[in-house]
Structure 1
Amino acid sequence: MSAKPNPVPPVTIAEEPSILKQPKAVWAVFFACIIAFMGLGLVDPILPAIAKQLDAAPSEVTLLFTSYNAVMAVAMLVTGVITSRIGMKYTLLSGIVIIALFSGLGGLSNGIWELVFLRGGWGLGNALFVATALTAIVTLSNSGNAKAIILYEAAIGLGISVGPLIGGWLGAMSWRGPFLGVATLMVIAFIGLTTLMPRTQSAGGTKRKKTSLADPFRALQHRSLLVLGIAAALYNYGFFTLLAFSPFVLGLDEHGLGMVFLGWGILLAITSVFMAPKLQKWIGTVKSMCLMLTLFAATLLAMGIWTSAQWVVIAAVIFAGALLGNNNTLITTAVMNASPVERSTASAAYSFLRFLGGALAPFLAGKLAEIFNSSMPFYVGAFFVLLSVVFVWMNKKHIMHVDEAEAH
């Protein structure tokens, strides 16, 4: 299906009000996002410790990411249905409660399979929160849609960067510490949102149209959204290969892993806010995405070639943060401009495909390492990321209107 004119106002970055001039409700969601995404980074420094203390293989421990992403992918399809019926505020609060409950229970568990199951429940809460948080920030922001997306990506970056530092500190005491820490932080986020976020979320005070389960699948009939979703699934395979498997080859303790992923997350946060808009303006969204993905594939390839060289892997992980920060903002902005469907529906459809890739990678990375060697997961990750570049370039005629929207 060829691209149709997009009746949804395009997302642009330049010449909009300051990103810092936001209502209190936006900042409440922003800080809750930071805490929610701390949960992703908090687990990284303790993966080897979990494997050792629960007598689990790396392929079993990486299931903590697989169950999380798989449940999140499926749950993304129902977030719009739930939000359109109970409103953004209560959807966000429901997600926070579920995250707090399952992370807390995870910290009290005693077996790897019990922990994998509870991590899936955490993914359900995260799906409700994450998908709705993006829509909430875009809806409530007064600085323009593009800068609202940048604010959202900045919250992700800050959460992912601070998470490993706290995870390494708590994990050095016990692998249970980060799980219980997330539960405590989500209680704080719950109080903040309950206090600062208004009940009526719809723009202009209008009642939002109820969505159905079929809407995300209908949205994927738009070739542009389908192309970006498949590309994101391929790219996310590489993303979660790095995130879930690299802790097993770095040979560092909890504090060391926390510091490495702190550097990774800081670069991710900085580039998503400051560098991505400049790339978008200089060479366009599609070309910038392809450039970042090509460099990321090369980085994973280097990690595969020099897996035994600790300093190379450390440098590659930290450098990858810059590439991932840029690409996350670029591809999110592209999705918002990709099709004429409502943005929350587009986000749900795209996120479903995106997290499917993130669900496959962690488990397969562990299995590939067991069957072949520790380099093979990075080679396969590099292949899939490079495949995403080829796929985008082969289908660029379906998504070039994204750059036209940016130009306008």
Structure 2
Amino acid sequence: MSDTNKEELLRTLTLKDAVGVGLGAIIGAGIFVVTGIAAGVSGPAFLIGLIAAGTIAAFNGLSSAQLAAVHPHSGGTYEYGYRLLNPAFGFSAGWMFLISKLSAAGVVAIGFGSYFYQLIPVASPTVISIAAVIFLTAANYYGIKKAGMLNLLIVAITLLSLLYLVFNGIAAVRLDNFTPFAPFGIAGIAEAAALLFFAFTGYARIATLAEEVSEPKKTIPKAIVITIITAIVLYLMVSFVAIGVIGAETMANSKSPLQEVAEALTTPAIRLIVTIGASTAMLGVLLSQILGISRMMLAMGRRNDLPPIFQSIHSSYRVPHFGIIITGVIILLLTLVGTFEFILRAATFTILLYYSITNIAALKQPKEEQIYGRVIPICGLAGCLIMCVSLPFNVIISGIGLLLSGFIIRFWFHKIYGRQE
């Protein structure tokens, strides 16, 4: 094997693996927690907000697919920004991705510990969270194929638990729980859409891992489309049953609305199965976060936007091993000290900026590369900008502050390691 090959990642992810990565990133806290928050701001009409959020996510997803098919490299929008726009756009996308995903990973790790503790209280939730982070970091370290197989198993358990809830809950749906349908009007539906949009953004993990997908030009667009359609249908089914069984108000007043649904049903072991599904959902998101963050670090290390050691690829396992270890360490620290609330709030702005750059890059592609034309990225960009301006002012300011801090750090790294654009 040549030295050049040792510096490359393995293209071993099939269509099934790529869809698994996307679903593993999407079916997490969103379906188990955010649906309840959305019900609180819009009532049963959050189903409309869910469709709107899924539609905007689909526009963004198609833009990502169009770009990844032509530029199948680790880093996703970070790479597209550099190649099609300018270094400032590219760095902004990469830095915002790291900020939002690292902060979210800390929350997910803590959430997993809480859910798993309900199943098997073998240790404190914090100890369980730490064990999960170490286990998933090791799974990532020993190769993308092993991580992909583990992810498929996790996603399968989560999907089966949710389908078990849907099929057993449909008979208990009461239509009077859907009235009044939209007690907070259009404003409530719009707010629900903004909340739920973030539940769908995991599909971008497929593009971030593009360098490890086999036949990326065909596989990535298919994987993103299948992932988004599956996620929208699943969210709608689960949300419809949840409202019909316990009502929007009960959902809104619960931190774990799907467990409330399970408790309202008489099906044997359903609460246990839903709790298992919630645990594996958190585990799947955490696994995909480590995958995506480490690949973004790899891409940014190649351009000295992070220290160049991050571009190091393990000669045997062919993974960005240093990035995986550092990602695991940061998530462990967040699990121990708790997440920083202002970063979590600002993450909503940062991820919208990330997808705005995705759509701008898709608009800049040559006409012959625009698989879906210009309408899709225009609609995706419009959706992102509308949601951006609807965010609270302090969230926008926090997001801009985090972005500026990134450029200061980047300037420092370039002074030390040189500029590679």
Q: For the superposition of Structure 1 and Structure 2, which TM-score range results when normalised by the shorter chain?
A: under 0.3
Q: Say which one has the larger Rg.
A: 2
- Scaled by the length of structure 2, the TM-score of the pair is 0.27
* TM-score with structure 1 setting the length: 0.28
Of structures 1 and 2, the one scoring higher in RCO (CA 8 A, sep 6+) is 2
